[in-house]
Structure formats: structure tokens, C-alpha cells
Amino acid sequence: MSCGLMIAAALMLTDPALAATSTSVPSAETPVAGEPLFLDIVSRSQALKGIVDGWIQTGFNAGAFAGFRADAEALAALDMQGHVTLRERNVDGDLKCILRGISEDMPGRLDAVQNASDERERGVALSELSHLLDDNAAVILAPPQPAS
């Protein structure tokens, strides 16, 4: 299955309620979750999600967006680094592809927030960005699934 199809399938199957309950404590069943690179991705993703969720609740802060964007782009670069790390280990799994997909999707989500023509459109863009950031942490913290 191509990475694109795996990304789409994984994101469609993500349960937002389950992802919302994830913590930054790695499970013994998740082999990479305890590694510094992946812990950093989880930590940054959760922190950025907190900012986005704050904007959803209290209103978008355009003045803070440039700094936020730089942090989100740095996270996307770490996601790509995670993808490359797993690829170099010859890991044949969904996480490798999902990290690449999130890395590639992040700039578009940021553009959607920045270029929204009205508050309704910005609200949708912020919601989608929040879900992407949530997925970013959840896919690392989720226990590996057996091959089907």
C-alpha cells in the first residue's frame, strides 16, 4: 500500500476522543515513543495544539501567528526527520508514512489559517490544524497494531 493511502486510512480511522486522551508518557508497547526525537515531536505537537485550541476558544491571535508558524514548520521538519529515521531503519509500517504525510500537510494547514477570508473559514482551518496536531502525537503514542 502506498504511503498516501496509508496516511489517508490512518487519519480516517483516528478516533478524536481516543486521541484526546493520549498522554506524553510513552507506552512500553510503542518502540519509538521513548526515543528523544519522537518525544520531542509529541511534546511540540501537544504544545502547538494547546495554542490552536486556545485560539478556537478565545479568538485567533494574528500577531502571534508568525512565531507559531515557525514552530509548526520546525515540527514538520522533525516529522520528516522521524520519517527518514524510520526509513533508514527499514521499518515497514504506517508510522513512517504518516509522519511524512503530516510533514507535507502542515504547510497547507498553516496557509489555510493565515489566508482565511473570514472567521468561519478560519475556524474550520483552526479545527483541521488542531486535529492534525493531535494526530501527530497520537500516532506516535499509539501501540503498534499487528499486521493484517
Bigger pLDDT: 13 or 78?
A: 78
Provide the whole-model pTM.
0.79
Beta-carbon contacts of residue 11 (< 8 Å; ≥ 6 apart) = 98, 101, 135
Instruction: Please tell me the distance from the alpha carbon of residue 30 to that of residue 43, in angstroms, as a whole number.
Output: 16
Residue 142 DSSP class: S
Beta-carbon contacts of residue 60 (< 8 Å; ≥ 6 apart) = 113, 119, 122, 126
Domain locations in the chain as residue ranges: 3-141
What pLDDT does residue 79 have? Answer: 98
pLDDT in tens, 56-112: 999 999 999 999 999 999 999 999 999 999 999 998 788 999 999 999 999 999 999
What pLDDT does residue 7 have? Answer: 52
Q: Is the pLDDT of residue 26 over 60?
A: no
